[in-house]
């Protein structure tokens, strides 16, 4: 029976991988840029020599660097997806073990089935980002914590270190379990300062050393990504609440609550209380920061494995505790609990689309994948010929792909990988969910190139004047007021002669760089038509 259940779970996972497909986003390539530099011996720097903390997932950046060590020219997504796949296995095993500790094997399998029904978790794993690994690290930490004797705590806080290092806000789960242990120790009259210090010092010490290193190395207490997105709720104060409500409707979580709450009244109350605390604080954090734009509930996903465990607890306890009731009451309650979990599982799967918000989310996922593959990766092979010398500064609103596949020093227009824009920018003319804008910053940043907006690849006759090209630059109208794009820059285009594909750009006029036609590679021509 267990073998059949495992095969069913494997089949469910395979269908999820097929449903998600080759999902990619530009943001993942930002991390890959740091990984590439780290693997090549340049340190964790961005694009071509820029020391800025434009990632918020340190351990993930280090892990994906291994792929570049083994195969420098391989697709970095291969490494990221291997680690994400392992993370999903860890999450499934941890969910099962947590439920099985105090419940039945069947309840544990139900919890894993609920976990693997979440398409967003698989989409996060395919995205190349750390989201799935972070969710797995949290539930694995709780699994280790509860497997350790409360009378002899040694290494269970260290088990939360992967979560603490996977995201810049990953110290929060570590603090949650630390606070829970202190409260439990006081409540059970076993508190000891010496034991607490022995248990907490290794994990907190390692995290403190990491924080001290990154502060000394990058010069800011938090990544530039944090500062760039500080103004997310300035235009929409209820954004976080709205995203939470969309998440609840998307997953059908109203059905989840009665079963999960049963774990507090009938289940292993200590474990259930801890996980409910972790879920509540993670939700509060996601609401506070205003959620995220990515189409897989990124900031809410860490609660999915914990929620699966709570449902497993609830199903197990409902099944057991109604044994003494008469048949006409017992079986409706049991079937109702399973039906509630099944309802959530169906809603968490992408095959169930029953709201406008969910249709929008899935549409954004399709758009993001297509945009990354066709617009960005498709343009990178042309844009790399625009950059004349390694380290020339290229302004772009797509800092990820172009930082990996060109030799430019990228000026990230959103400020995610640019401390100047992140610290001094505002939200004029943009949606702050993506970052900040700072037209005035370009006078200091001294850029060499700008490219036109999507579609980046166009026809060789797409523009007929420099003014038209400037108008097609993202934030070009505002930047033109600061550095005079009309006079200080000239329009260029790189053309693939075989296909006629062209990428239009602006290049700064500089002494010693004649603006004459050139052929940097066979079949590739760069000229300045105006």
User: Residue 451's closest CA among 475, 431, 430?
Assistant: 475
Confidence of residue 1 (pLDDT cuts 50, 70, 90): low
Read off the pLDDT of residues 446-485 as tens digits, 9 standing for 90 and up.
999 999 999 999 999 999 999 999 999 999 999 999 999 9
Q: Which of 339-343, 406-410, 428-432, 466-470 has the lowest mean pLDDT?
A: 428-432
Q: Is 420 exposed, middle or buried (0-12, 13-18, 19+ CB in 10 A)?
A: middle
- Let me know whether 426 and 334 are in one domain: no
- Let me know whether 482 and 371 are in one domain: yes
- Let me know whether 170 and 300 are in one domain: yes
Look at residue 357 and tell me if it is in a domain. no
All residues at 6 or more sequence positions from 421 whose CB lies less than 8 Å from its CB, including other chains: 228, 412, 413, 414, 415, 435, 436, 437, 438, 441
Which of 352, 386, 414 is where one domain is finished?
352
- Let me know whether 414 and 331 are in one domain: no
Integer CA distances (angstroms), 441 to 7, 396, 423, 485, in order: 56, 14, 10, 14
| pLDDT above 60 for 149 | yes
- Let me know whether 282 and 379 are in one domain: no
Domain that holds residue 400: 364-527
The residue-averaged pLDDT of 382-395 equals: 96
| pLDDT (0 to 100) of residue 220 | 95
* φ and ψ of 55, to 5 deg: -120, 160
- Let me know whether 411 and 307 are in one domain: no
* Nearest-angstrom CA–CA distance, 184 and 146: 12
The residue-averaged pLDDT of 190-217 equals: 95
| pLDDT above 90 for 208 | yes
* Nearest-angstrom CA–CA distance, 450 and 2: 58
**Widest CA span of the chain, in angstroms?**
92
Straight-line distance from the first to the last Cα atom of the chain, in angstroms, rounded to the nearest whole number: 73
At 145 the three-state DSSP class reads helix
How many domains does the structure of the chain reveal?
A: 2
- Let me know whether 322 and 422 are in one domain: no
Which of 352, 372, 405 is where one domain is finished?
352
Residue 518, beta-bridge partner list: 526
* Nearest-angstrom CA–CA distance, 425 and 181: 42
| pLDDT above 80 for 247 | yes
- Let me know whether 409 and 310 are in one domain: no
Look at residue 49 and tell me if it is in a domain. yes
Confidence of residue 357 (pLDDT cuts 50, 70, 90): confident
Read off the pLDDT of residues 267-277 as tens digits, 9 standing for 90 and up.
788 999 999 99
């Amino acid at each position: 029976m267990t073998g059949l259940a495992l095969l069913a779970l494997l089949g469910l996972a395979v269908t999820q991988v097929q449903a998600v497909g080759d999902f990619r986003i530009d943001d993942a390539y930002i991390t890959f840029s740091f990984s590439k530099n780290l693997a090549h011996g340049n340190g964790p720097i961005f694009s071509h020599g820029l020391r800025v903390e434009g990632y918020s997932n340190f351990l993930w950046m280090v892990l994906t660097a291994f792929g570049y060590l083994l195969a420098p020219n391989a697709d970095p997504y291969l490494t990221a997806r291997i680690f994400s796949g392992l993370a999903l296995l860890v999450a499934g095993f941890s969910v099962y073990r947590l439920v099985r500790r105090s419940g039945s094997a069947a309840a544990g399998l139900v919890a894993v089935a609920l976990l693997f029904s979440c398409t967003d978790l698989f989409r996060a794993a395919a995205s190349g980002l750390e989201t799935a690994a972070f969710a797995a690290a949290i539930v694995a930490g709780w699994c280790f914590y509860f497997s350790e004797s409360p009378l002899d705590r040694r290494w269970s806080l260290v088990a939360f270190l992967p979560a603490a290092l996977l995201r810049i806000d990953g110290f929060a789960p570590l603090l949650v379990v630390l606070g829970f242990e202190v409260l439990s120790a006081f409540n059970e009259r076993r508190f000891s300062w010496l034991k607490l210090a022995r248990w907490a010092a290794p994990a907190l010490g390692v995290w403190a050393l990491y924080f001290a290193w990154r502060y000394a190395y990058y010069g800011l207490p938090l990544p530039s990504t944090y500062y760039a997105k500080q103004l997310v709720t300035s235009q929409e104060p209820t954004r976080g609440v709205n995203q939470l409500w969309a998440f609840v409707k998307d997953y059908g979580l109203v059905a989840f609550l009665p079963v999960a709450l049963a774990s507090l009244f009938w289940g292993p109350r200590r474990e259930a209380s801890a996980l409910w605390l972790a879920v509540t604080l993670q939700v509060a954090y996601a609401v506070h920061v205003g959620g995220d734009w990515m189409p897989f509930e990124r900031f809410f996903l860490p609660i999915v494995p914990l929620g699966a465990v709570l449902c497993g607890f609830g199903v197990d306890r409902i099944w057991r505790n109604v044994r003494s009731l008469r048949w006409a009451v017992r079986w409706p309650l049991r079937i109702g609990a399973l039906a509630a979990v099944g309802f959530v599982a169906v809603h968490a799967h992408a095959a169930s689309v029953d709201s406008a918000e969910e249709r929008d989310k899935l549409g954004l996922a399709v758009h993001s994948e297509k945009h990354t593959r066709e617009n960005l990766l498709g343009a990178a092979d042309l844009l790399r010929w625009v950059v004349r010398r390694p380290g020339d500064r290229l302004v772009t609103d797509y800092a990820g792909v172009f930082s990996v596949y060109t030799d430019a020093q990228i000026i990230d227009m959103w400020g995610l990988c640019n401390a100047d824009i992140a610290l001094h920018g505002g939200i004029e003319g943009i949606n702050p969910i993506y970052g900040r804008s700072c037209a005035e910053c370009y006078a200091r940043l001294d850029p060499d190139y700008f490219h036109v907006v999507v579609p980046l690849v166009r026809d060789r006759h797409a523009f007929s004047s420099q003014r038209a090209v400037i108008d097609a630059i993202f934030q070009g109208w505002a930047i033109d007021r600061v550095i005079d794009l009309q006079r200080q820059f000239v329009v260029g285009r790189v053309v693939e002669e075989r296909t006629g594909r062209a990428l239009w750009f602006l290049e700064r006029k500089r002494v010693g760089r004649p603006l004459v036609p050139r052929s940097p590679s066979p079949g590739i021509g760069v000229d300045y038509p105006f």
